[in-house]
Structure 1
Amino acid sequence: MTLPNEDGVAAWLRYGELPASVRTAANSAAVDTIVVLGDHNGKSPVTVAGQELTDGFRNILGRTVTIVNNLSAASGTTIIIGTLSDYKATGQAVNNDASPFLSHEDGYWLDTTSDKHLVLGSNERAVLYGAFDYLSRLAQGTFSAFTFGSRPSAPIRWINQWDNMDGSIERGYGGKSLFFTDGRIVDNLERVRQYARLMASIGLNGIVINNVNANASLLGEDNLNNGVRRIADIMRPYGVRTGLALNFDAPRTLGGLETSDPLDAGVVKFWEDVTKRVYAAVPDLIGYTIKANSEGQPGPLSYGRTLAEGANMLAKPLEPYGGLVLYRAFVYDHHLSEADPKNDRANAAVDFFTHLDEQFAENVVVQIKFGPIDFQVREPPSPLLARLKKTRAAIEFMVAQEYMGQQSHAVYLAPEWQEILAFDMRVNGQQSLVRDILTTDKGPFTWSTTGYTAVVNVGNDSTWLGHHLAMANLYAYGRLAWRPSDDAKDILEDWIRLTFGVDPTVVSAISSLLMDSWPAYEGHSGNLGVQTLCDILYTHYGPSPASQDGNGWGQWTRADSQGIGMDRSVATGTGNAGQYHPEVATVWEDISKTPDNLLLWFHHVPYTHVLKSGKTVIQHFYDAHYEGAATVQTFPQRWASLKGKVDDARFEHIAFKLAYQAGHAIVWRDSVCRFYQTMSGIEDDQKRVNNHKWRIPLAAPSPNVVLVGYEPVAVRLPEAASDGKAVQTTGETGSVKTTLDVEDGTYDLAVNYFDTLVGRAKYELLLNDKSVGKWEGNLQDRLGHDFSEYLDGHSATRIYFRGVVLKKGDVLTIVGRAGGKEKAPLDYISVLPEGEVD
């Protein structure tokens, strides 16, 4: 049977029909009636919960269920949904087991042990959370007679969108903004409603709709009253409240004042007036998010004021409305001098905030990135998470894969987040897991206001994030914000069953692939805690280890010909290890105790330093990069095994993305290994680096490579190409020809080329003048990541032609036709025996 195509908009709420093979009397839930308790206006979360349950039964089980508004009208097996207070008003009572959940904000209780199923919430949105939980079990075929209660770990479970007023999304790889276009709010907000539905289904309760690099024009009367108001109205029935990111300099840029000094009376009045106008438009606004004094943004330090004075100035007018200021701890000097061995951007958050611990207002929450730098492939937890005793804090994650493949690579991030959340910060010598510090009734600080935020880059593409598999990260973020002790693999398998169906083969294959994805990405992009070795001076996407040093941004590796790594010890380095509590600091300070996976984060060592594994640092680099890339090479074949088990539209989309990822992983591997072999002068024990027996470099002088209308050119990042050079056409058309010296047999042909954003070149591969295949350099139309205009590690890519029969003396020709400024650039051809990866 051919599965109907799906575009991905419904994501994990598609409510796929439960196959007959897995239906049982229990999970087929023969419900006849839904009783919606309470007097609602038709737009409350309780009303939405009834609609969701009705739709779920229709789609999952093909069953029509009737909604009524009182118990006397119910018949047959019934679901009763409502708040605890509305349920008690009918004269009913719940058992004592429900109390810990229904007495907690947003907590819910499910009971399906009788013919009157209960979905009760402590408040209206909690009812909706409970309904989504009920439907999740139904859709996964795991429904049974049970009682279950749940409550969130923390009250802040927010999303930070990085949408710009012009409709673009900073670090957005899945289309244009759902919210903005041409300086105003979009007219059609249907996708915003669908987004709110997704958020509610995973327990998220707030969204800051605009970029932290904020445009103050959002605060204009028309945008507030005809825009932000409509967004809030759309999201409110799903229990999602709206917030705004502010530009600290708005008093000058929008208000026409001469200053944005937070102690200036005119500035104070400006923000009081703005807040009154904002709350007139959106009475339940959650508050403001602020980025200030970071990456060139103005802030209180620009006026000689403290960060606390700046935050409190914004917090005061919010106080009567119950609004919060989430003040990002992402404050640092991006003009650091690398010549000073004591300089360290990783120290910035603690240095800027800890001495202000008792000075922040009660409604200020410091928003702390999970690691000390910036969403790297591996970081230790930020020490600031354990240093603020009085000031409330929230942790910041990133669903947008800025440094992690930008949603052109499938990388499941929840295992990394889980490691951060499970880390023991040892406050006062006691167990202090990060997840407990952030839980309101646990941890050493027992903050009443704390929680989770994440940078999310959903766009108007039907995939939301540009890659169907990337949605696992958004789902996992919501699940972990609600219950941070959940297991990343369990979360993933729930998501797979909801997104792709309950076939165990599908669940197992996708789970295995995605659980391998973060270790593989770390393997080929930067390991031992060295950071993600991407181009931090350009698009943050492809490999560029050289860019890590010699800049003012502070994301340094301090690599030279002798060694690599940041010395962050107290004894001889930047002192970052000492920002942690003593039991943790002792581990980071001592190279013999520091785990290998963070060695280069805390210590500068020779390339020949021997790890606990017995390998040298440089050999580990070579091995890890080859092993990581090799794992990614298996992804296309593993996905191919699901042909026919996933609808064709989503299957082909993911197959294309994984094939691209496999090719780019080789670019990453080769670039990093070449760079450090050159820098260290130490060969790979296995002689793999720059020794590719199946490759034919096209720019290297060779009598066996004939260029017609092509010429060698330098590559911007020389390690990203064979011998640092590529070839490209001198005019509109050119050809590259080579005669093969191979044994007769069947081969896979791989062509590595460069696909830039400055044009769309066309290519054709010929064997003995007969076409093998054609392609176009149009990845900027098919992939969402930040593209490059240069020949470099961002634009380097690969295409395969598999199962080609060859014999000795055959002639391969590539004909390239320039498109725009893209002059059909090529790197090499690989002639691979079937099953080989070069």
Structure 2
Amino acid sequence: MQVFLLLGILSVAAAEDGLAAWLRYAPLPGVNHQAIPSNIVALNTTTSSPVYSAGVELQKGIQGIFGKHIDIGYEKGESLSTIVVGTFGAYSQEYNNNFNAPDLEEDGFWLNTQNDTVQILGQNERGALYGAFEYLSMLAQGNFTKVAYFSSPHAPIRWTNEWDNMDGSIERGFGGPSIFFQNGLIVNNLTRAAEYARLLASVRINGAIVNNVNANVTLLTPQNIAGLGRIADVFRPYGVQLGISLNFASPQTLGNLSTFDPLDPSVIEWWGNITDQIYEAVPDMAGYLVKANSEGQPGPLTYNRTLAEGANLFANALQPYGGIVMFRAFVYNMLNISDWKADRANAAVQFFKELDGQFDDNVVVQIKYGPIDFQVREPTSPLFANLLQTNTAIELQVTQEYLGQQCHLVYLAPLWKTILDFDLRVDNRSSTVSNIISGKRFNRPLGGSAAVVNVGTNTTWLGSHLAMSNLYAYGRLAWNPSLDSEAILQDWIRLTFGLDPSILNTITQMSMESWPAYENYSGNLGIQTLTDILYTHFGPNPQNMDNNGYGQWTRADHLTIGMDRTVSNGTGFAGQYPPEIAAMYEDPSTTPDNLLLWFHHVNYTHLLHSGNTVIQHFYDAHYNGSGVAQTFVPLWESLKGKIDDQRFEDVLFRQEYQAGHAIVWRDAINDFYHNLSGIPDLGGRVGNHPWRIEAESMVLDGYKSYTVSPFEAASNYSAVVTVTNSTVGTASTTLGFPDGKYDVGVNYYDLIGGISHFEMFLNEKSIGSWAGDLENRLGHAPSVYLDGHSATRKTIRGVNVKKGDVLKIVGTPNGIEPAPLDYVVFLPEGAID
């Protein structure tokens, strides 16, 4: 049982930029540090050793937490008050102690704080470092419980995937440019790479693929291979092994061969030579990640070879070095939406099931958690239940590609737990995903987890302080998937923001409500995240989901909605599961409501288990989810003065943005399906906004009306833009609202390619001004259009208004951004827009 001391709260700390993340080692007030050992013995003097790093980390952590300097020694000393960190073997040798070491998994550790000598002993050096971080995590949280326990990883592979490009950009990265690459080369200064490895080690992540799965062949040039050696050098002290993504066609495009056929002897020889060169530079390289025959990437199917033959090409090259091939199962073809049986969700099983048992033992098939693509809710991928003789790993996504791109708070551990804990009932036996990917269920030698993370040079790493909870949670769950997501979150909060109970309770509430809220205001009932899949994957665009070949379809028309994935009448996807699960999903009455539209095509008037119709649930959920997002602002504001100003203001800005964008989402989805179905909202809310003033209905000077596409991205389908990109626009109106105090919201569009300026006046007195500069402040995937991605809101609170007052907004365009306005809303206390 953990015991956290209730300590006096420090005065607000100096500004923090987030770079230290959860390794702040903030001082604990009122603690007697005399009980902390006075010496550290690190049983390895090699500076590249994780044990050496553990000693340095312990010294740094104790200095930060307790203000107590402790010397580091490297052999047994006289003091009885000592922290000893090393491997079991080194400990036994140094202390002439035949320690009865347990049968730990690789990377496991023993932590004993019950005596004067604190023992931190690893099965290997990496395990010793993990134990040191565990001990420091306890101390930093004010947890001085006397413990003695062993800890082993649930699975051997605990990797991250970084989708960094050679030019320094990051695909689906929202935290700034790459910490690894710039201008086609590996950066000279790898300080941030070393700091990242330290963060990864602190949550027991043991490998990192540093380049995009859509790999650039120039990574394999001699200069860049030497650069990979430099990255590996800064990773090594933290036990993080370097891995790289490969472009399957490299022998042809880089090696000037006439083919990249995986069975061609010249291709086999070429990959063998490249692998030899890489291991000469990086002797402990983890292995390769391969995306083949997916989304236009080359692969073995080009030559009518199997995906297994493609994977085994690399496995054979890596086998002498102990390297691993992570082979992505994200393979699908473009589809014809007019074919009722067509279904992208079927693709993974169709491509890989018949290959079970044909992959070499050092190949791991990396499977996205759901059958489509990181949606807000998907069923567990059935491929986990169809590869019984193949190593598998789950692919999660820390970077919030479809889930708000770090501009929306979405704590993802509860989502991941729905997948990890899901029992697929293979052969009518317990078959949780967590036990399948560990290798335990089917007795496989390898397995584990990979997460797309995409840290950047932003000091917050991911672009948002609160988003770092997801990286922390990923590491913790990769080590032990049975952990509770709220308990993980609260460890992270204490380490990141301190021990104040009000901070803990507030951020816990916000985070635990965040995924359900986002699901409600984006896409619920299993309809997927109703975003623009052809563009930025950020804002709402439900009509974009259909009428293309990508297969993320809703099949919505004016009467019905949802994919029929039954065996009896649909795509047959439900039948890819073992019988017990397939039977549940085949029948609408036994399918959980939160996946109904994933598996079934039903009328809008279909009754859910809740008693609501599908369409009314849509309306209600979108209002409820958006309403929760509004509460995050006052909740966060309640922490003012308890968190340093820099982080407080940064998070507040993002929570205000999320509150506004959640309304954009709510209105876009509700308006679209209201328009499509023709069924009214029983609550009378959809399409009814009595507190709004449409910009196009105001008196315009220098502005003109503009029809927004898609229509649902604008209130009343229209906005206003300046007549030219050099014309200042003015929109004014006389207010007819009752006298009172109002929160005034302005919905506008913030396009990349220009920074417009806006100022709002009441009776010619300025009450607020702002710039359309979100592309510089948020880090999301911006848009060049007036759409659901660029739509946003500025709110000015507590404005005293009298009936007959004159409101005026002045918009000054810049670049391609024509100071676009959608509407103004005046909200009295308690009113819902």
> For the superposition of Structure 1 and Structure 2, which TM-score range results when normalised by the shorter chain?
over 0.9
Q: Is the 8 A contact 2:364 2:390 kept in 1?
A: yes
Q: Is the 8 A contact 1:228 1:281 kept in 2?
A: yes
Equivalent pairs, count: 821
Deviations 1:491-514 (A, max 9, x none): 000000000011111011001100
Q: Are 1:5 and 2:15 matched, yes or no?
A: yes
What amino acid sits opposite 2:555 in the alignment?
R
Partner of 1:151: 152
Matched, 1:769 2:764: yes
Is 1:160–2:161 an aligned residue pair?
A: yes
Q: 1:652 aligns with which of 649, 653, 660?
A: 649
State the Cα deviation string for residues 78-130 of structure 1 (Å, max 9, x = none): 1111100011113454776x614xx3211100111111110000100100000
Task: Say whether residues 1:61 and 2:71 are aligned partners.
Answer: no
Which position in structure 1 is the counterpart of 2:691? 694
Moved more, 781-790 or 60-69: 60-69
| Amino acid across the alignment from 2:330 | F
Is this contact kept in 1: 2:392–2:436, CA < 8 A?
no
1:179 and 2:180 aligned: yes
Which stretches in structure 2 are left out of the alignment for 5+ residues? 1-10
Structure 1 CA distance, aligned partners of 2:244 and 2:365? 16
Q: Counterparts of 1:359 and 1:139 in 2: how far apart (Å)?
A: 48
Which of 677, 695, 712 is residue 705 of structure 2 equivalent to? 712
CA distance, structure 2, for counterparts of residue 730 and residue 287 of structure 1: 56
Query: Which of 99, 102, 105 is the aligned partner of 2:102?
Result: 99
- Asked whether the 8 Å contact 1:533–1:548 carries over to 2, the reply is yes
C-alpha separation in 2, matches of 1:49 and 1:275:
31
Asked if structure 2 preserves the Cα contact closer than 8 Å seen for 1:28 and 1:138, the reply is no
Tell me how far apart the structure 2 counterparts of residues 267 and 412 of structure 1 sit (CA, whole Å).
44
Amino acid at match of 2:73: V
Is the contact between residue 500 and residue 646 of structure 1 (CA under 8 Å) also seen in structure 2? yes
Structure 2 residue identity aligned to 1:342: K
Please name the residue that 2:297 is paired with. 297
Aligned-residue offset at 1:266:
1.6
Q: Please tell me whether residue 31 in structure 1 is matched to residue 41 in structure 2.
A: no
State the alpha-carbon separation in 2 of the partners of residues 637 and 259 from structure 1.
Answer: 61
- Structure 2 residue matching 1:765: 3-state secondary structure: strand
The whole-number CA distance in structure 1 between the counterparts of 2:375 and 2:35 is 45
Aligned partners of 1:596 and 1:123: how far apart in 2? 47
Q: Which residue of 1 aligns with 2:367?
A: 368
The structural deviation recorded for 1:42 is 2.0
TM-score (norm 1): 0.97
Which residue of structure 2 aligns with residue 90 of structure 1?
94
Which residue type is aligned with residue 533 of structure 2?
I
- 1:350 aligned residue: 349
Please state whether the residue corresponding to 1:802 is helix, strand or coil: strand
Paired residues for 1:537-548 under 5 Å? 537-548=534-545
- Structure 1 residue aligned with 2:552: 555
Aligned to 1:474: 471
State yes or no: 1:46 paired with 2:51: yes
Which residue of 1 is the match for residue 673 of structure 2? 676
Q: Secondary structure at the match of 1:707?
A: strand
Q: Quick one: distance in 1 between partners of 2:719 and 2:553?
A: 29
| 1:158-201 residue CA offsets vs partner (Å, 9 max, x unmatched) | 00000000000000100000000000000100000000000000
Please state if 1:234 is matched with 2:234: yes
Do structure 1's residue 414 and structure 2's residue 418 form an aligned pair?
Answer: no
- Asked if 1 retains the 8 angstrom alpha-carbon contact of 2:361 and 2:445, the reply is no
Cross-structure match for 1:778: 773
Shift of 1:368: 0.3
The residue identity in structure 1 corresponding to 2:160 is I
Coordinate RMSD, CA, aligned = 1.1
Deviation by residue 1:246-283 (Cα, 9 ceiling, x = unmatched):
00011111011222111112211111111111111111
What displacement does 1:205 show? 0.3
Indicate if the aligned counterparts of 1:3 and 1:644 stay in contact, CA closer than 8 A: no
Stretches of structure 1 that go unaligned for 5 or more consecutive residues are none
Residues in 2 aligned to 1:11 and 1:94: alpha-carbon distance in whole angstroms: 39
SS of structure 2 residue aligned to 1:196: helix
Quote how far apart the aligned CAs of 1:836 are. 2.8
Q: What's 1:727 paired with?
A: 720
- Structure 1 residues 733-792: Cα deviation after superposition (integer angstroms, max 9, x where no partner): 110001011111111110000000021111110000111111111111111010000000
Instruction: Give the aligned residue type for 1:81.
Output: V
**Mapped contact 1:78–1:117 kept (Cα < 8 A):** yes
Identical pairs, percent: 58
> Which residue is 1:122 aligned to?
123
2:783–2:790 CA contact under 8 A, matched in 1: yes
- The residue type equivalent to 1:291 in the other structure is K
Rounded Cα–Cα distance in structure 1 between residues aligned with 2:343 and 2:87: 51
Aligned pairs for 1:319-334 within 5 A: 319-333=319-333
CA distance in 1, matches of 2:464, 2:808: 34
Secondary structure of 1:436 counterpart: helix
1:547-586 equivalences in 2 (<5 Å): 547-586=544-583
The answer to whether the 8 A contact 1:34-1:74 is kept is no
Q: Which whole-Å CA distance do the structure 1 matches of 2:532 and 2:747 have between them?
A: 20
In 1, the alpha carbon distance for the partners of 2:16 and 2:496 equals 10
Distance 2:394 2:129 in 1: 25
Equivalent residues of 2:88, 2:121 under 8 A apart: yes
1:489 maps to what in 2? 486
User: What CA distance in whole angstroms lies between the structure 1 residues aligned with 2:434 and 2:99?
Assistant: 30
Q: What are the superposed Cα offsets for residues 326-361 of structure 1, whole Å, 9 maximum, x if unpaired?
A: 10000000x210111111000000000010112111
Is the partner of 1:237 in helix, strand or coil? helix
Is 1:28–1:61's contact at 8 Å kept on the other side of the alignment? no
User: Which amino acid is 2:277 matched to?
Assistant: R
TM-score norm. by structure 2 comes to: 0.97
Give distance in 1, aligned partners of 2:695 and 2:223.
58
Deviation at 1:439, TM superposition (A): 2.3
Task: Tell me which residue corresponds to 2:6.
Answer: none
1:231-270 matches, cutoff 5 A:
231-270=231-270
Deviations 1:534-586 (A, max 9, x none): 00011000000001111000000111111100000000000100000000001
Code of the aligned partner of 2:763: N
In 1, distance between residues paired with 2:29 and 2:196?
27
Q: Which one-letter code corresponds to 1:681 in the other structure?
A: G
3-state SS, counterpart of residue 268 of structure 1: helix
Residues 216 and 253 in structure 1, CA contact (< 8 A), matched pair in contact too: yes
Report if the CA contact (8 A) 2:564-2:598 is conserved: yes
| Structure 1 partner of 2:400 | 401
Separation (CA, whole Å) in 2 of partners of 1:155 and 1:236: 17
Q: State the Cα deviation string for residues 702-740 of structure 1 (Å, max 9, x = none).
A: 4xx211111101112110112211001103111000101
Paired with 1:821 and 1:90, the residues of 2 have a C-alpha distance of 69
